[in-house]
Structure 1
């Protein structure tokens, strides 16, 4: 007796099932594949008149299921661009007035100092978490970001003299790193307390060494 592949009943016949009449031994036909969905028809956007495929208009974004607002679809106003971050620059130069002040303050010890005849300005962008001010020393492994090695060499600048660090909110601060000759900001001010940050304003002049002025500018 053969088992029907359709209903599972045993059948004495060998050609057709006694129970359901299905042909015995014939493969069960595979179900037809569903037809692929038809692509959305092209329609005209009620808001802007552009050709639209689907619910939302690619030109103006109008939802075809919603009524058109008076005056058409409002174009969203782009968010204002974020203001550019502040950028600062340190300008290094030799200053005759500062040189004369150092000579007058140090007396005979400064008699051998000579103001450099040629000292071009150098510019250093203030970027990063800290910028060391000093003189390069391969022997000590010192590579300051603001390198005052020269020429001309300012003998009053320590190998590791000071440091510029970002202020908590914006801007920069200067820290004297317990240098030999100290650091001053502005005219007539005392030496900075070592290892104590001092807030800088746009245009402040940092005085170090025998003639070196570092002026910070907000670009």
Structure 2
């Protein structure tokens, strides 16, 4: 069973990575605690590896971070976070102007839409009772009823994880009911027809099992940050009961 923990800002959270209340990382001081400890923000780090600036927003991050803690920039692939949608147009404003735009100034052109048409790969998401028999101690709730859903993989990167509104985490493959899955657990990377999966330093690991095989106690999690090329029918096991099967269309 997953135990609750207290975040650096004093909130009780059931998530091992991020506080469910304020979104602070559970393994380090949150923004409130940092502000109290160093109100001027001028304390320089001592020892260890110096933090690195995010190329997208400039915020400092630990050298081993896979994502920017401030804006969500992906250090592994170089993908910038999704832009925030502009506010609705004010009544009587010119076409293309939002409610916050000065009169006569038009908003920037919208981002191009994601590719349409058939996806080269899909991932089939299922509840797996066999994996639960191996990893059920990670769960904080009983095994849910069997279910199956299919997610097309069209983007260059598709995140696997659990949705968090406070951290603006919106994974393409959302496993929200399996709390043994990290918020940013893994991601699929599509290069032409080649599909790979990368573990994003998840708490409980990402496990790849070849098509038709059954996982056992000897299955080894993937090393974090290292892409693993997938074949049609390969299975990815993660969390307490989640199985993802990739299929070439």
TM-score after normalising by structure 2: 0.47
SS at match of 2:132: helix
Give, in whole Å, the separation in 2 of the partners of 1:146 and 1:205.
14
Q: Is 1:130 equivalent to 2:157 in the alignment? A: yes
Report what 2:236 is aligned to: 206
Following superposition, the deviation at residue 101 of structure 1 comes to: 1.2
Structure 2 alignment gaps of length 5 or more:
1-116, 210-214
Q: CA offsets per residue over residues 13-65 of structure 1, 9 Å max, x none? A: xxxxxxxxxxxxxxxxxxxxxxxxxxxxxxxxxxxxxxxxxxxxxxxxxxxxx
Change (3 A) 1:217 1:99: same
Report what 1:139 is aligned to: 166
Report what 1:7 is aligned to: none
Which residue among 187, 200, 203 is the counterpart of 1:177? 200
SS at match of 1:215: strand
Q: Is 1:115 equivalent to 2:143 in the alignment? A: yes
Q: How many residues align?
A: 126
Asked whether the 8 Å contact 2:119–2:153 carries over to 1, the reply is no
Following superposition, the deviation at residue 102 of structure 1 comes to: 1.2
SS at match of 1:102: helix
Following superposition, the deviation at residue 179 of structure 1 comes to: 0.4
Following superposition, the deviation at residue 113 of structure 1 comes to: 4.6
Larger-gyration structure (1/2): 1
Following superposition, the deviation at residue 147 of structure 1 comes to: 1.3
Asked whether the 8 Å contact 2:128–2:146 carries over to 1, the reply is no
Report what 1:40 is aligned to: none
Q: CA offsets per residue over residues 98-132 of structure 1, 9 Å max, x none? A: 110113xxxxx54855211x242111001011000
Asked whether the 8 Å contact 2:119–2:154 carries over to 1, the reply is no
Report what 2:185 is aligned to: 161
